[in-house]
Structure 1
Amino acid sequence: MTVTETSPDLPGRTATAGRARNPHWGTSTSAAVGIAALVVAALASLCIGNRWVDPLALLDGSDPDNVFMDARLLRTGVAALLGAAFGLAGAAMQGLTRNPLADTGLLGVNAGAAFAMVAGITYVGTASIGGYIWFGFIGAGVAAVGVHLIASLGRGGATPAKLIIAGAAVTAALTSWTTAILLMSRETIDATRRWQIGSVAGKQTDALLTALPFILVGFALVLSSARVLNALALGDDLARGLGRNTARDRAMVGLGLVLLVGASVALAGPIAFLGLLVPHLVRMQVGGDYARILPFSALWGAILMITADTVGRFVLPPSEIQVGVMTAVLGAPVFLVMIRRGRLGSL
């Protein structure tokens, strides 16, 4: 008699079949490659810009080029933090909705944060990062709750398909309202032009410190939800059969997403494509267990954000291309190649 095991990476498939069809990297190998890539990306970010800085100058306080270090260190740190936040939020969003095409903008979270911030600037006169963050939280939270309430109407409750449809509708409505406010206020357009594109340049330490506690709490909530997302991946009925309170679980993951996305969007603007692409790259490496997907999505989100920001500094000299543009420019071809080759990671 042949005995088969259920693969922890791909529920419902045998371990042998899973290994044969999905040859993933080991956790140690993935971690080593990711850490090495992060170090290389960070060094490139410190050295490349309007002026090339010798890596050795970063260690020599007397070298004239060392004056660039503080600004580039802060910029690199902001890119790493926000890239990790968007990558982690994208993985959690895909798990929460059981949709491989979900990203942080799917459930109206990005659009809600953007609308609230634009409204705050226009009608309240908000001008500080602290104010932006609070408006971002309010907008992201109200949009997420609104989408869930709309999807809960009718038979079956808030199913993944209904969440996607409701999120698309709310996102379209909020985006149109945001555009309408901007068209009525030239001052708001001037204040939000760089932010709307998505940028990590020119951030101040106090702005980072204001957003950091909220992002860290979001990290803690989402990273601790691996078992929740693994259970939800089986379907709500099976998850409830395993003793999970699916409504409470979704609320916990949703709160973490609101904290991550609200603070990140307030600090740097809506960054496109990162949350969609990163989880698929990670699943190709480590499989379908969210205990590995979540931390590696944060790691590779940081790597890709730093890389996109660095490439944007020298691709069209002497100008810079904002990171929000570069993530889409670099990410879209990779995603299309993955689709053509059938390499999108299954949920």
Structure 2
Amino acid sequence: MTVTTTTDRERGTSASGSPAPAAGIGRAGGRRSSAALVALVLVVLAAVLIASITLGSKAIPLGDVLQVLTGNGDAAVDRGIVEARVARTVVGLLVGAALGVAGAAMQGLTRNPLADPGLLGVNAGAALAVVVAIAVFGVGSLTGYVWWAMAGAGLAAVLVHAIAGLAGGGLTPLRLTLAGAAVTAGLGSWSSGLLVSSRQSFDSFRFWQVGTIGGRGLDLVVTVLPFFVVGLVVVLLAVRQLDALALGDDLARGLGENVVLARAAVAVGVAVLCGASTALAGPIGFLGLVVPHVARFVVGPDHRRIVPVCLVAGPILLLAADVVGRLVAPPSEVQAGIMTALVGVPLFVVLVRRGRMTSL
């Protein structure tokens, strides 16, 4: 049997004469791997951003785009198209980041790998509020939809938590999941009933419901931006609590965490992020479900790494899906809400088949 003595360790050799591993090698290798991962993700994000601005039914050279952005474009450059694509790209960045982070937080909060941001009834609440705005109050502008959708998302999140807490004993993951499913089904039926009774409302609502990042100006982005900032800050500050909650409530309390406060903070952050995203781009599904699994596949189960990766991976997936949607059937396009499912489903199936669908 080989025995390593204190003297051997000090000399950096084992009793067998072979060099002992240096203490810093593992940490140095980990830092190099993390730096390489960050560099790769940033390169991919930059490529997607460039593609989002330059590609479409009409391709625009990158040089012309830079001329417009610097104020030096000539008459031959279609300034309107460039500005619209820049706004579309900014919307994709915000919505993708928000839904990716909200999905990771939702899965950690409920300890359910199949949870997505819509589980709290936020999407259904926003949709019902927009339907009421159209059918009852005659709202017909995106600016009006934003405020109604934000209000509906917030009220739905409050309703879910109120129902989950009726039985007493705290807001457990199971109660939140069941209450969210019930509220989503109920609000969805009300939305359907209102739409069936008014064809005009259905025609107006269906363009919002499909989910798209196009046709949104920077004025709408400025309106909703504070909500994105608040939601992201709340979730980012709660990543350590998410790791504790993933161990179970009893262990989290043993680690000194206030479980009720941690769950409330994460739920508020998720509701704000989902409400802002749904208000700005409509209900875009599947993104919040698949992005956290991609992040977990790459960096492991630590939410301190998962959430930052989702912050970047969400925009990459959403913008890539939007670019593909613009190119598959020119001069028309397939909306981003449809393309995220078409792009995300095969990726999700691959992760499941490889056994990466781990429980939380």
TM-score normalised to structure 1 length: 0.89
Matches of 1:122 and 1:205 in 2, distance apart?
Answer: 27
- 1:138-159 CA-partner distances (Å, limit 9, x unpaired): 3222222222232234475432
2:272 paired residue number: 259
1:136 paired residue number: 149
**Residue 77 of structure 1 aligns to which amino acid in structure 2?**
V
1:169 paired residue number: 182
Contact kept, 8 Å, 1:281 with 1:345, in 2: the verdict is no
Contact kept, 8 Å, 1:89 with 1:257, in 2: the verdict is yes
1:104 paired residue number: 117
1:30 aligns with 2:28: no
2:17 paired residue number: none
Contact kept, 8 Å, 1:93 with 1:103, in 2: the verdict is yes
Matches of 2:312 and 2:347 in 1, distance apart?
Answer: 18
What is the Cα deviation at residue 245 of structure 1? Answer: 1.6
Matches of 2:265 and 2:96 in 1, distance apart?
Answer: 22
Matches of 1:90 and 1:49 in 2, distance apart?
Answer: 29
Matches of 2:300 and 2:32 in 1, distance apart?
Answer: 8
CA distance 1:252–1:223, shift in 2 (3 Å): same
The number of residue pairs the alignment matches comes to 328
- 1:85-129 CA-partner distances (Å, limit 9, x unpaired): 111111111111111110011121111111122112222333444
- 1:9-67 CA-partner distances (Å, limit 9, x unpaired): xxxxxxxxxx9xxx999432221111111100011111111111122222232372352
- Secondary structure, counterpart of 1:65 in structure 2: coil
Deviates more, 1:91-100 or 1:152-161: 152-161
Matches of 2:294 and 2:284 in 1, distance apart?
Answer: 18
2:66 paired residue number: 59
2:299 paired residue number: 286
Deviates more, 1:56-65 or 1:327-336: 56-65
Structure 2 unaligned spans of 5+: 5-25, 68-72
Give the one of 41, 44, 47 matched to 2:48: 41
Contact kept, 8 Å, 1:24 with 1:284, in 2: the verdict is no
Identity of aligned residues (%): 51
- Secondary structure, counterpart of 1:42 in structure 2: helix
CA distance 1:321–1:252, shift in 2 (3 Å): same
**Residue 253 of structure 1 aligns to which amino acid in structure 2?**
V
2:15 paired residue number: none
CA distance 1:130–1:54, shift in 2 (3 Å): closer
Matches of 2:223 and 2:279 in 1, distance apart?
Answer: 11
CA distance 1:25–1:340, shift in 2 (3 Å): farther
Structure 1 unaligned spans of 5+: 3-18
Matches of 2:125 and 2:289 in 1, distance apart?
Answer: 18
Contact kept, 8 Å, 2:104 with 2:288, in 1: the verdict is yes
Matches of 1:33 and 1:158 in 2, distance apart?
Answer: 39
Matches of 1:156 and 1:333 in 2, distance apart?
Answer: 40
Deviates more, 1:109-118 or 1:83-92: 109-118
**Residue 33 of structure 1 aligns to which amino acid in structure 2?**
L
- Secondary structure, counterpart of 2:189 in structure 1: helix
Contact kept, 8 Å, 1:45 with 1:307, in 2: the verdict is yes
Alignment of 1:1-347 (within 5 A): 26-60=33-67, 61-62=73-74, 64-67=76-79, 68-154=81-167, 156-347=169-360
Contact kept, 8 Å, 2:231 with 2:268, in 1: the verdict is yes
- Secondary structure, counterpart of 1:319 in structure 2: coil
Contact kept, 8 Å, 1:133 with 1:262, in 2: the verdict is no
TM-score normalised to structure 2 length: 0.85
CA distance 1:238–1:206, shift in 2 (3 Å): same
Deviates more, 1:146-155 or 1:335-344: 146-155
- 1:130-174 CA-partner distances (Å, limit 9, x unpaired): 543332233222222222232234475432122212211211111
**Residue 104 of structure 1 aligns to which amino acid in structure 2?**
P
User: Of the two, which has the highest radius of gyration?
Assistant: 2
CA distance 1:25–1:258, shift in 2 (3 Å): farther
Matches of 1:295 and 1:251 in 2, distance apart?
Answer: 21
Matches of 1:346 and 1:58 in 2, distance apart?
Answer: 45
What is the Cα deviation at residue 289 of structure 1? Answer: 1.3
Contact kept, 8 Å, 2:96 with 2:316, in 1: the verdict is yes
**Residue 343 of structure 2 aligns to which amino acid in structure 1?**
L
Deviates more, 1:197-206 or 1:243-252: 243-252
